Structure 1
Amino acid sequence: MLFKVEMTVNIPSSLPKEQVEEVKAKEKAYSQRLQREGKWPHIWRVVGQYANVSIFDVADNQELHEILTALPLYPWMEISVQPLCAHPSSIYTEQTSSK
């Protein structure tokens, strides 16, 4: 199943810089592993914000929930999820999930 996920990160300024850097490093490693596995095929930065728009390609709602709640930055995120399906007017056949 394909999902559009919008994430906005709001790290509290009271968090020690060393802890923030450690969490960000863990987040990067985790997200890149998911990208290599094909579960997070697209990620775009939202200009001027600590936010992204991503496409996830996972088996179901439960798998997406487990992935998102395991994000190291999850405690400081606002997340919006929308399930996706192929558009009938699209000229691309690759829009459907391979899962």
Structure 2
Amino acid sequence: MNHPVTPDGRYFVVRGRLWRMANPGLDAEERTGLVNRLMRARRAVRDAKRSADFEAEAAAHKAVHEVKRALGERGPVWWDDGSPDLNRYMAKNTTYADWYARIGR
């Protein structure tokens, strides 16, 4: 999967929607550890759904959320220029609309 990334590197686009990228300021070791935790948490969501264990599923979703915050994909933005967070917005309805139209998606 090769999703387009906004020129400023803050978001990637899936089916027209912006999704916040991980904080590029994280060092490689920290990022790798967080991604490994994220994958474990996502597998825990899958496994809990398969077994219809609603408590385990809720705990796994919470773990996914916490790791995504640590990665910078959720929660406070990782940039400091005052630009708003456009996570989950449709690209065509944002300041990225012209860029998105130019890339032909």
Q: Which has the higher strand share?
A: 1
TM-score scaled by structure 1? 0.38
Relative contact order (alpha carbons < 8 A, sep ≥ 6): 1 or 2 greater? 1
Task: Name the larger-Rg structure.
Answer: 2
Return the TM-score normalized by structure 2: 0.37
